A and B are shown apart, each in its own frame.
Chain A
Amino acid sequence: MAFVEIDHVTKHYDALEVISDFSLAVDEHEVICLIGPSGCGKSTLLRCVNRLEEISSGEIRIHGDRITGPGVDLDRLRRDIGIVFQGYNLFPHMTVLENAVLAPTKVLGMGRREAEEKAMAFLERISLSHKANDYPDRLSGGQQQRVAIVRALMMEPMLLLLDEITSALDPELVSEVLDIVRDLAAGGMTMILATHEMGFAREVADRICFLQAGKVYEQGPPAEVLGNPQGERTQAFLRSLRKAGRL
């Protein structure tokens, strides 16, 4: 049994079908990269996994336990599934440290001092401990995104969803964020990433899924999908990236 099973999931907004009959199984410690043109359903899919969005049909299971449908304790579920957004979404009225300790103290009931020590240890590791008492608007985009990752890690999630976390960043800030993801992958964190960074996907992913119109169009090890794509759409997508100098 796989860790996360996305089983024939469909999601539509009124008549618009964003995800259609989508299936994917993720093993523990596996890193999956979702790639594909914008509007192919990558972000929506991630948001369905922690139920920020509701699916229309199908089901999602974690360790065989169905997490879709009625009666699931969402607050409990979301403690164990971290998500990092494209736009960082740090709380602007809280300092970096307060952002990091909010959920552990208010949701897990961790002591303030303990939570702060833990947060400082994380911030130390990403070389941002000197920014602990700054507000997010004093930080660069890359720094904010690193803090957002720390905020998610503070809950010690079993699964981390990364939703195009470098898309809003200036090019020179991308690598500082990807370095952290690389460390997490090496540490065995199970992650699903929606990304446009093909070079990074090739390096860090165990498996790459090319999405097309809400479906897995082609999937496999990075070298195969990126190096020797079989599908016509995959080839066209990679060709257009190459033309734009993104691959």
Chain B
Amino acid sequence: MTDQLILEQQDEAGRAAIWRARRSTRTYRGRAGFTLLLAAVTFLVVAASAQHIGGYAVSQGVSSLIAALPGIVAAIAAAFVLGMAASAFLKSLAASRNDDVYAARALGDEASTRSWKALAWIGALMIVTGGAWFMVVNDAAVSRTFFDLALIRDSVGKVLRAFGTNILIFSVSAVFILAWALVIALARTLPGAAGRPLRVLAIAYGDLFRGLPAIITIYLIGFGLPLTNLPFLSDLSTTSYAIIALTLTYGAYTSEIYRAGIEGVHHSQVAAARSLGLSHAKTMRYVVVPLAMRNIIPPLMNNCISLQKDTALVAIIGAIDAFNQAKIIAANNFNLSAVTTVAILFIAVTIPQARIVDKLSERDRRRMRAGG
């Protein structure tokens, strides 16, 4: 049995020969050749597209410099990729010609890396070119509908003013949500049998408003409360109804984030605090909630971003926010470019926050790796 498990007995030179014979140098000729072919095709496609699309733009009255610039940049990039693919192919050829095994391995390795890089660029260029075609086909139907620059320019002032409503709704409800959700989360984590009634109520609230689509909550509150003839509650502004509805909806989500944070605090911290004589409330106040906060800032900020976007939902109850204003402009002009303006505004305020969340998450990961 053991005879079969161990290599047949041979002298050292024999074993070395077998080892060497099994080593081979990879030159990646196939990959490099395929990449070179694709790169050549890409270059032709990009150059032809640039010429056609640029010509079309000029015929539509765009100045020739602005029309030509993107095409030129794309063509230069394609040429650069072609060069990269060619160099990869040359490296691969050199690798197969080189008698020095180590040099050949290094050349083959470079050929492979450059091929992958070139392929990634080819993919990106093709997608961008496809996008450019999408904009100009059918006599530029897409660009006219969504990107009518003149209309965007004319509408931006009005839309921007209306966006102030979104910012108002967002900032006021964000403050309410942070406080309200903490109340719900603390109710949900009340200890013992005495805490049960409030705990159950908090759970029911969470289930209800996480199950209800935000748009329905806004609709019910915005149109429902005015019909109730209740003092105060029935004659608020649409903006106030929007704030109430968003606070109720997002309070439910955010309380779950808080709760996850609170329950994520290690029980040894609670034991340490309680053993010093701190009551449940003081333990929460000085130890658990501060610790929970540190862990939940990234998910809280994500919630914040989605709250910002959902301020656009208030259009349904007739609040003149940016989206509603843009819809009015769009209806008057039979063109959606004003809505594009809103889209750009939302994206512009969201991107910096998304980057901050990324940074915070990355910092957290580093802290975890550093061991606490």
Contacts and interface: CB of A to CB of B under 8 A. Distances in A.
Contacts of A85: 268, 271-272
A239 to B, nearest CB: 33
A92 to B, nearest CB: 7
Nearest to B272: A89
B278 A89 contact: no
B262 to A, nearest CB: 14
A78 B372 contact: no
B34 interface: no
Contacts of B134: none
Contacts of A47: 271
Interface string A40-62: 00000001001010000000000
Interface residues of B, number: 18
Contact of A91 (B277, B282, B287): B287
Contacts of A90: 272
Contact of B269 (A52, A78, A79, A91): A91
Contacts of B268: 85, 87, 89
Contacts of B287: 91
A191 to B, nearest CB: 15
A106 B286 contact: yes
Interface majority SS (helix, strand, loop, mixed), chain B: helix
B275 interface: yes
Nearest to B367: A137
B279 interface: yes
Contact of A52 (B274, B277, B291): B274
Given A87-B268, A91-B269, A93-B290, A151 B274 contact: no
A74 B277 CA distance: 7
B275 A106 contact: no
B276 interface: yes
B275 A52 contact: yes
A199 B277 CA distance: 33
Interface in A207-235: none
B294 interface: yes
A151 B276 CA distance: 8
B271 A106 contact: no
A180 to B, nearest CB: 18
Contacts of B282: 106-107
A85 B278 CA distance: 17
A226 B357 CA distance: 58
A50 B274 CA distance: 10
A103 interface: yes
B291 A92 contact: yes
Interface string A74-92: 1110110111010101111
A31 interface: no
Contact of B271 (A89, A92, A102, A155): A89
Given A85-B268, A87-B268, A93-B291, A103 B278 contact: yes
A81 B287 CA distance: 20
Nearest to B280: A75
Contacts of B294: 93
A107 B281 CA distance: 12
Contacts of B271: 47, 52, 85, 89
Interface in A233-247: none
Nearest to A78: B277
A217 to B, nearest CB: 28
Given A91-B269, A93-B291, A155 B276 contact: yes
A107 B272 contact: no
A155 B277 contact: yes
B86 to A, nearest CB: 53
A27 to B, nearest CB: 23
Contacts of A93: 290-291, 294
15 contacts: A50-B275, A52-B271, A52-B275, A75-B278, A76-B277, A78-B275, A82-B275, A91-B273, A91-B287, A91-B291, A93-B290, A93-B291, A93-B294, A102-B276, A103-B278
Interface of B: 268-269, 271-279, 282, 286-287, 290-291, 294, 372
Given A78-B277, A85-B272, A89-B268, 9 more contacts: A52-B275, A74-B274, A75-B274, A75-B279, A78-B275, A87-B268, A89-B269, A89-B272, A152-B276
